[in-house]
Structure 1
Amino acid sequence: MSDQVLSEPPCRRVSRRSVLQSSAALLSVPFIAKATAAFGQEKIARTGEVVVCSYGGPFTENLRKTVLDPFTKATGISVVDAVADNAEAPLWAMNKAGRVDWDVAMVNAFFPTYLQLQQAGAFLPIDYSLWDDEALKGVPEFARHKDTVVAYQSANLLVYDERAFPKGGPKNWTDFWNIKEFPGPRGLSATYGANLVAALSVLGVMDKGLWRLTDDKIDRALKKLDEIKPHITKWWTTGGETLQLLINREYALTSAPDGRVLVAIKKGFPIRMLWDGAYVTDNHWIVAKGGPNTVNAQKFIAFVNRAEIAAAFTEGTGYPGPNLNQLKYLPADLLPLLSINPENAAKTVRFDVPWFWEKHSDGKTNAEHILERWLAWRAQ
C-alpha cells in the first residue's frame, strides 16, 4: 500500500498542513482555557514530558497557546513538539524499526497506512478511566474507539457567494442543480466523496447512521451528476483554490471545505454555508505503542477532551473537537459555522470508514472500486 490516500475522494486529497495552518493563522483566539486546580487533580498530575505530533507552523503555535501550555500548567508535564504533515508514514517507519519517538499523533483513518498500523497493534487502547465524567458524556460514542478518539472533524459543504444572489441564494443541493433559478458558474471537488453524497441528497437518499457507497447508490449518483457535469466550470483540487475562485467571482456556488470557508467569513467575505448534505470526515488522536511517555500521553488525551479545553482547541485551530459540551464556552457567532453544532450535524453525512477497506465482489477494496468508477466517469 502507498502512503497516499488510496480512496482519495472521501478525505479530500488536500495538504492537511496547508488547510489547518491557514485556519489557525487567521482565526482570532480570544478564549484560552484556564488551567484550574481541578485539572491538576491526582489522576492526571505527573512529571516528565510527552511528545505530541501536529502539523507545525501556526497550527502548532496556536495549539500550544490553547492546549499544550495549559496542559503543562495543569499537570506538570512538559510537551515536546513533533511535526509532520501526515503522521501515518513516519509512525509506520518507527513501528517497523522498533523505535517509536512520538507519544501522541493525529491520524486519518482513510489513509491505507492507518489500517496497517492498526492491524499491527501500533496504537495503544485509550485509557478512558482517566477521563472526567463530563468528557465521557460530551464526546459521542462514535468518536470514542478502543484505540483512537476523534481529534477534530472537517466537512465538505455547499457554499455560495451572496453577491451573486442579492435576492436570496440557494437553500440546498437541489438548488445547486437548478440552473434556471440559480444561474452562475459552479464548482465541485475533483474527488468523489462529497459529490456522490450531494447527488444522492438531491435524490432524497439521506441514510441515517454511517454511509456505504454501494453500487446502486453509485449508479444513481453518477446518473444525477451527468445532469450537472456540463455546468461545472472547474473541478477544484485544493481548499485554497476553491475559496480564491469564489472570492474572485469565478464561482457563484461550489462545494468547499468548512475550515477554509470559516476563515473567509471571519475575514468579512460574503459567503454563506449550507449544511444540508455536508460530508464530514474525522482525524483521530492516537497513543503510539512503544512511545517514550505513554502514561503521560494517556493523560494528555484525557485533558484535551475536556469541554473548556476542547473549546480552546476549536478556537485555536478552526476545527472542532468532538466534545459537544464545548459549545457553551464558544462565542455565539462561531456556533453556526461549526459542524458539531447540533442543528448542522443533523444535516451531515459520515461514511462507514472500515467498510471502504473491505473487499468488493471484483476483488478490489470498496475504496479502490469506487475510485475506479469515479475516474472512469470523469474521463467520459
Structure 2
Amino acid sequence: MKRTSFLTLGAALLATSALAMDKTVTIASWGGSYQEAQSKALFEPAAANTGIEVKQETYGGMSDVRLQVSSGQVTLDIVASGSGSAARAAAEGLLEKLDYSVIDVSTFYDGLYTDYCVGGDVFSTVFAYNTETYGEDGPKTWADFFDTEKFPGTRAYRGKVAGALEPALMADGVPPEQVYEVLGSEEGIERAINKIRELKPSISVFWTSGAQHAQLMKDGEVDMSTGWNGRFDNAAKDGAQLSYGYDGALLDYDCFAVPKGAPNKDVAMEFLNEISKPEYQDDLPKWITYGPTNRAAYETGEITAEVAASLPSSPENAAKQLPVSLEWYAEWETIAAEMYQEMLTE
C-alpha cells in the first residue's frame, strides 16, 4: 500500500513538473533596440522567474494578427502594439479580452490599459534633427519641421498613418487641443495629408520601423526625421549627431495584446501579469528611454530622478505634449490609412 502511494505521489509530482515545463508563450514585437530592451528588462527575467518558456518573434504589426485570425492559424500568444492600432484591432474583434483578475493593474496610471491591451511603456513621437546640419539651435516646432525655406534639408516621415497626421495639422496652425476635432472628418484628414503632400519633395524616406528611422539619423542620410524618442536616444548613444525636444510631441503608449484564438491564452495572461510588475518595468529605462506604465516602478529606487526627468511620462515633459486619442484611431484609422496610402503612391 505504501509503495503504491509513493509511486502515485511520484507520478503526480512528475506530472506537475511536466505541466510547469510545458508552459510556453510566443511573443511578437518590432525588433531592433526596442525589442532588445523589452527582452532584457521584461521577457528574459520574467521567463527565469516563472519557468515559462518564451519564444520571441518579430512581426509587421496588427496586419499580421489579422491574417492569422482570419485564417484560423494563430501562432502568436502576445503581441506588442501601439495603443491606437490595438484599439482598432479590438474593434475588429481580433483580440482576446484581457483577464484583469489575473493581470494586476492596480498601480497603473489611468488610461494606460484597456479591456484588450495592457500598457508596457510610455513613449513620444518627436522629430529629431542633425546637429551638424543645423547646430544646437535647430528646429523647435512642427512648423519648423515643415518649413523647408527656414530649415532646408532632407526629411524622413512616417510611412504609416499612425502619428503622421497630428504633426501636420499642428504645423498647419491647428492648436493641439483641436487636432482630433479637426481630424474627425474626411476633410480634416485631407487637410493634414495635403500638408504632408507639400513637404513630400523634401521627404527622402517614408520610414516604416523604429530601427529604420534611427539608422537614417545615425548614418546622416536625412537631416530630420520623425520617430520615437527612445530609438533616437539609443542612436545618439551609438554616435548619432542629433537632438530633439518634447514641445508638441505625441504622448502615447505601447501595450501588449493577446490575439483572438491564441494557443496559450491562459499562460499569456499569467505572463502579462508578471511583466506588468514594477520590478520589471523599472528596468526598461536602463535599455531604452521609455517610461513605465506602472507608477509603482518610480518607487522602487531603480529609476533615478535624473533619468525620470528625461522620460516622456515625467510631469514636465508630459505637459508639453498632445496625448494620442485612442477613440479617434478606433473610429478613423482605417479610412485615414487608405487616404494616406493614396498620397504615398502618387
For residue 340 of structure 2, what is the aligned residue in structure 1? 374
Q: Which moved more, 1:149-158 or 1:346-355?
A: 346-355
Q: Which residue of 2 aligns with 1:110?
A: 85
Structure 1 Cα separation of the partners of residues 109 and 178 of structure 2: 16
Amino acid at match of 1:67: L
SS of the aligned residue for 2:115 comes to coil
CA 1:87–1:81: 2 relative to 1, 3 Å: farther
Structure 1 residue corresponding to 2:204, chosen from 223, 226, 234: 234
Q: Per-residue displacement from partner, 1:248-306 (whole Å, max 9, x unpaired)? A: 44433232333431211122323112222323554432356766665544333222222
Q: Which has the larger radius of gyration?
A: 2
Change (3 A) 1:336 1:256: farther
1:305 and 2:276 correspond? yes
Inter-partner Cα distance in structure 2 for 1:154 and 1:373: 26
TM-score, with length taken from structure 1: 0.66
What is the percent sequence identity of the aligned residues? Answer: 20
Which stretch of structure 1 is more off in the superposition, 250-259 or 287-296? 287-296
Which of 249, 253, 261 aligns to 2:224? It is: 253
User: Is contact 2:65-2:259 (8 Å) kept?
Assistant: no
Deviation at 1:210, TM superposition (A): 6.6
**Partners of 1:172 and 1:276 within 8 A in 2:** yes
Deviation at 1:199, TM superposition (A): 2.3
Q: For the residues of structure 1 that align with 2:81 and 2:192, how far apart are their CA atoms?
A: 29
Q: 1:66 to 1:337 in 2, by over 3 A?
A: same
Once the 2 structures are TM-superposed, how far is the Cα of residue 206 of structure 1 from its aligned partner?
A: 0.6
Q: How does 1:42-57 map to 2 (within 5 A)?
A: 49-55=23-29
Whether the aligned pair in 1 keeps the contact of 2:26 and 2:55 (CA below 8 Å) is yes
Unaligned runs of 5+ residues in structure 2 are 1-18
Q: In the superposition, relative to structure 1, how do residues 146 and 246 fare at CA in structure 2: closer, same or farther (>3 Å)? A: closer
Q: How does 1:112-261 map to 2 (within 5 A)?
A: 114-115=89-90, 119=93, 123-128=96-101, 131=104, 135-137=105-107, 139-166=108-135, 168-202=137-171, 203-207=173-177, 212-225=183-196, 228-230=199-201, 232-238=202-208, 239-261=210-232
- Map of 2:256 onto structure 1: 285
Q: For the Cα contact (< 8 Å) 1:126–1:148, is it kept in 2?
A: no
TM-score of the pair, normalised by structure 2: 0.71
How big is the shift at 1:154? 4.6
- 2:293 maps to 322
The alpha-carbon deviation at position 234 of structure 1 amounts to 1.3
Deviation of 1:159 after TM superposition, in Å, equals 0.9
Match of 2:311 among 338, 343, 350: 338
State the partner residue of 1:66. Answer: 41
Q: Secondary structure, in 3 states, of the residue corresponding to 1:110?
A: helix
TM-aligned CA distance change 1:92 to 1:128, over 3 Å: farther
Name whichever of 196-205 and 86-95 sits farther off: 86-95
Match of 1:80 in 2: 54
Gaps of 5+ in 1: 1-45, 359-365
Letter aligned with residue 373 of structure 1: M
Q: Cα RMSD over matched residues?
A: 4.0
Deviations 1:88-145 (A, max 9, x none): 5468647865x876654434552799347x626x5143224652xxx523x2232221
> Secondary structure, in 3 states, of the residue corresponding to 2:106?
helix
Greater displacement, 158-167 / 59-68: 59-68
**Deviation by residue 1:40-61 (Cα, 9 ceiling, x = unmatched):** xxxxxx9553424134788767
